Structure 1
Amino acid sequence: MTVRDIRLFGDPVLRTVAEPAGEPDERLEALVQDLLDTVRVPGRAGVAANQIGVATRAFAYNVDGQVGYLLDPELAEVRGEPTLFDEGCLSVPDLSFPIRRHPWARSTGRLLDGSTAEVVGEGVLAEALQHEQDHLDGRVYLQRLEPEVRREAMAAVRRSPWFLSRTP
């Protein structure tokens, strides 16, 4: 079991648009296993590959006992009026802020065996699907916050011990 360290806000890999996963091989199988091991840590709903330092289009999810992964995922459909979620992120530890997300989402992708896969969710799973897709597109949720909330969030990030310890 390999639980990988989570890259923190400010790490350039989090702003990198992830590359396609490519054909299944030992490297991709190991990445998927690391994602699944890392997302199984209690309190985690999702982990994108770039959050563990790998700019590959893959993520794992763990919501209400439903654990899985998608390679080359696409957010295929969202439904419902965006509503406020109090959202956090492993890459922005100990902070959460209100963000508008659709209450229903469907993501499509593939599995290691080459088969297509679909994940449909409401509530927290819908939020996680949207959140992880953003990571793969090089976005951290802070970028989606309303301007006033974003200013507050960035001030909180700059005051955070984990952020202060990263700066000279």
Structure 2
Amino acid sequence: MAVLPIRICGDPVLHSPASEVTGFDADLAELVSDMYDTMAAAPGVGLAGPQVGVAKRLFVYDWTDDSDIRHRGAAINPTLWISPPPAGDADPETEAEGCLSFPGERFPLRRAASAVLQAFDVDGEPFEVRAEGWLARIFQHEYDHLDGLLYVDRLTDGYARTAAKVERKQGWGVPGQSWLPGVDHPEG
């Protein structure tokens, strides 16, 4: 088990598009395994390559829904198709997200209710997952990381201002900051 440091908002790897994975090999398998360990230690329900300093298009996810069905996998070089997001303001109770790279905070964000994830697994085999609700939200959140976006980049109005204040107060927004799950207290 290897737990990797998680990069904090401001690190350049989090704010640039990631490149395609080209080698489906033992190094990739080890990275994916370490990402699962890191995600569990954080704890989180998803973790993208850029969050651990790897500018490659991959993410892992592990979430159990209300019916006790576990959704777990690694998405390599994914494509994500989403339904149109609903109009209106996000509900602070049911649509709040958090992020391991903006730790300790949660803000409401409107997301599409459904998504179709097409990707390759760690062995290079293609797969597809049709997702609704929270799983669709997880996929959208992690996919954004691969395009250099954090969920706080999508916030509007007062929530965007509040997130910017938190970032300044915590001293985030500069390169080189990270935290180690199980060791550090990422809230600052």
TM-score normalized by the length of structure 2 = 0.80
Q: 1:120 aligns with which of 114, 119, 130?
A: 130
- Per the TM alignment, residue 145 of structure 1 is displaced from its structure 2 partner at its CA by 0.7
- Structure 2: which amino acid aligns with 1:159? K
- Local SS of the residue matching 2:6: coil
Q: 1:151 aligns with which of 155, 161, 177?
A: 161
TM-score normalized by the length of structure 1 = 0.89
Say whether residues 1:24 and 2:28 are aligned partners: no
Q: What is residue 74 of structure 1 aligned with on the other side?
A: 79
- Local SS of the residue matching 1:143: helix
Q: Tell me: higher relative CO, structure 1 or 2? Use CA pairs within 8 A at least 6 residues apart.
A: 2
- Structure 1: which amino acid aligns with 2:76? L
Q: What is residue 108 of structure 1 aligned with on the other side?
A: 118
Question: What percentage of aligned pairs have identical amino acids?
Answer: 38
Asked whether the 8 Å contact 2:14–2:50 carries over to 1, the reply is yes
Moved more, 13-22 or 42-51: 42-51
Asked whether the 8 Å contact 2:14–2:148 carries over to 1, the reply is yes
- Per the TM alignment, residue 153 of structure 1 is displaced from its structure 2 partner at its CA by 1.1
Q: Which runs of no fewer than 5 residues in structure 1 stay unpaired?
A: none
- Local SS of the residue matching 1:4: coil
CA-to-partner distance for each residue in 1:63-89, whole Å, 9 max, x for gaps?
A: 113221110011123366267211110
Counterparts in 2 of 1:119 and 1:20: CA distance versus 1, 3 Å: same
Find the aligned partners of 2:164 and 2:16 in 1 and give their Cα distance: 20
Q: 2:99 aligns with which of 72, 78, 89?
A: 89
Q: What is residue 182 of structure 2 aligned with on the other side?
A: none
- Per the TM alignment, residue 120 of structure 1 is displaced from its structure 2 partner at its CA by 2.5
Moved more, 108-117 or 133-142: 108-117
Moved more, 125-134 or 145-154: 145-154
Asked whether the 8 Å contact 1:63–1:124 carries over to 2, the reply is no
Q: What is residue 163 of structure 1 aligned with on the other side?
A: 172
- Structure 1: which amino acid aligns with 2:28? L
- Per the TM alignment, residue 116 of structure 1 is displaced from its structure 2 partner at its CA by 0.7
- Structure 1: which amino acid aligns with 2:12? P
Say whether residues 1:39 and 2:32 are aligned partners: no
Find the aligned partners of 2:43 and 2:111 in 1 and give their Cα distance: 20
